Amino acid sequence: KMMLLFCLLVFSITEYTFAQSIRPQQNDINITEKQPVMLSCKYEGSANSLHWYRQYPGSKPEFVLLVIEASTMHVKYADPRIPGMDGKISMKDKQVYLEISSAEVSDSALYYCALEPTVTGNTSTLYKNLLNLHSFVIASRFLLADKICCVINDNLALSQLTDLNSLLQPHDGIISSLMSHKKTL
């Protein structure tokens, strides 16, 4: 069987705030194709909505879905909806989930969860003012390989992105995207 190595490097995208934070609940998950995958992030404080994004190597992050925290759970999906992906929230445990019903090689990407408000406040556009980022905690990636990916410490400053870039492979587009976008601000 083909083995998918799932390495969770999750980056959280939040604005400066002391009451809110978000952290991954797993570091590494090993799966085979066709298995379900559950990504989870634990948040503190209150959040009206929690967003999930996906980024393919060399591409910009794309909106996957957002889960709205209310008396009943609501999910807003990308248009068109990405097949096999769903969101859930546990308000009691303050956890948000991204479910992939059956992992495929095409799911290989970097996944992000973000607290509301996002950097832009817009579910379609992720980058606008990266200087408002205060932590990088959550990003998830599927790798079709037998190599192990690094797990990066959370609460990294923007000044540490250059050091992060040296840890990651060239196909890990998030750091180069962040660095090139930061230079244009």
- State pLDDT tens for residues 95-126: 989 999 998 888 877 788 887 544 444 444 33
Confidence of residue 175 (pLDDT cuts 50, 70, 90): very low
Please report, for the chain, the start and end positions of each structural domain, with discontinuous segments joined by +: 3-184
Give pTM, 2 decimals.
Answer: 0.58
Strands 110-115 and 12-13 turn out to be parallel
What CA–CA distance (Å, rounded) separates 148 from 3?
13
Strand partners, 113: 12, 52
Which phi-psi region, left, alpha or beta, contains residue 160 (left: φ > 0; alpha: ψ -120 to 50)? alpha
| Mean pLDDT calculated for residue range 41-52 | 83
Please give the mean pLDDT across all residues of the chain: 62
Q: Residue 51's closest CA among 41, 65, 33, 35?
A: 65
* Cβ–Cβ < 8 Å for 95, 69: no
Q: Residue 7's closest CA among 139, 156, 95?
A: 139
| Mean pLDDT calculated for residue range 76-83 | 94
Superfamily of chain region 3-184: Immunoglobulins (2.60.40.10)
- State pLDDT tens for residues 5-35: 444 444 444 443 344 778 777 756 667 788 8
What's residue 29's pLDDT?
A: 62
Say yes or no to pLDDT of 43 above 70: yes
Residue 39 carries which side chain, given as an amino acid letter?
A: L
Q: Of 76 and 127, which is predicted with more confidence? A: 76
Confidence of residue 69 (pLDDT cuts 50, 70, 90): confident
| Mean pLDDT calculated for residue range 169-176 | 38
Residue 102 carries which side chain, given as an amino acid letter?
A: S
